[in-house]
Chain A
Amino acid sequence: GENVEQHPSTLSVQEGDSAVIKCTYSDSASNYFPWYKQELGKRPQLIIDIRSNVGEKKDQRIAVTLNKTAKHFSLHITETQPEDSAVYFCAASLPTGNQFYFGTGTSLTVIP
C-alpha cells in the first residue's frame, strides 16, 4: 500500500508569517492529495485538495503544490492567524479505490 510521511510534526510561527508543511508519498500511482485541518476537540475537515494533473492550487491564504516526479506535496499558509492553529493532516489516494493514506499530522501553533 501507500506510505505517506509528513514533516514537521510540530511547527510554531509568529502571526503574519508563513507556514509550510511537507508530505512525501511512496506510490507513484497516487492521484489525489487532500489536506485536512483538525482543531482541538473537533473533527478533521477538508481545507484544500489537489489532483495529480495539477501542479498547484490556491484558495485565499492556503495553497498546495505537488511535485509528481519527487513524489511530494506541500501545504503553504500565508499571513498566518491565531485561528490557523490546529493539527493538519495530508493524505494520498490511489485511483484503484477510495482509501486515504494519512500522514501523521503537523501541530501548527500561531503565536499572536
Chain B
Amino acid sequence: DMQMTQSPSSLSASVGDRVTITCRASQGVNNYLAWYQQKPGKVPNLLIYGASTLQSGVPSRFSGSASGTDFTLTINSLQPEDVATYYCQKYDSVPLTFGPGTRVDIK
C-alpha cells in the first residue's frame, strides 16, 4: 500500500527561525499533496494544497514545494502561534493517506 512518511517526527526551534518539514510519498501523487496544521486541542486546518498553493487566509510565512515524490513545508520566521503538529496528506486517489505528523515546538 501507498505510504507517506514525514521527517523529522518532532523539532524544536527558536522564534524567527526557518523551519523545514519533509514529506515523502512511496509513489507519485501528481502533486495532489496537502499540508495541515493542528494546534494543541484544536481541529486541523488546511494550510497548503496542490503541494504549493497557499490556502486563503494562511500567513505568507508558510510555503510548500515539491520535487518528485518529496514535498517540503517551510515556515519562514517561526512564530509562537505556529506551535502545532503538521500533517501531509495525499489526495490523488484512495486511500487519502496522511503522514504520521511532525510536532513543532518553540525552543
A and B: interacting chains: no
Show the binding face of A for B, using Cβ within 8 Å.
Answer: none
Show the binding face of B for A, using Cβ within 8 Å.
Answer: none
